[in-house]
Amino acid sequence: MEVKDYLIIYGHGIRSPKGCYRELEINPNDIVKFTPLIKEIEKKDKEDCNWNPCIMLERQEDGTYYEHHLLYDMYPMISHELLDEFNEILPNHISKIESIKIFSGQKIKIM
């Protein structure tokens, strides 16, 4: 059997106070790519909300609207593409990331 890396994310959200969980296989290149973002999330671990992917429509003076990404404001030093990509692998409706773990090993199905 082949040894693989797994990313496990746990937290909770406003809509799901019971908890959010996601486990997925990840390649080593993605681990390296996401490390700067994970370190920034870790700096906000004492805050009630350290992840907010909401998009608000805001009106400009000329009457047009633009999309205001709250996540981009939370982590302005991280590229928008990386934030969007990381958001895709997170559990739905998560607003507080409490734990990010990486495990290497074999996944064995018992039942």
Pairing outcome for strands 96-105 and 65-69: unpaired
* Domain ranges across the chain: 4-105
Give tens-digit pLDDT for 55-70. Answer: 999 999 999 999 999 9
φ, ψ at 91 (rounded to 5°): -60, 150
Give tens-digit pLDDT for 21-77. Answer: 999 999 999 999 999 999 999 999 999 899 999 899 999 999 999 999 999 999 999
Nearest C-alpha neighbor of 9 from the set 107, 94, 108: 94
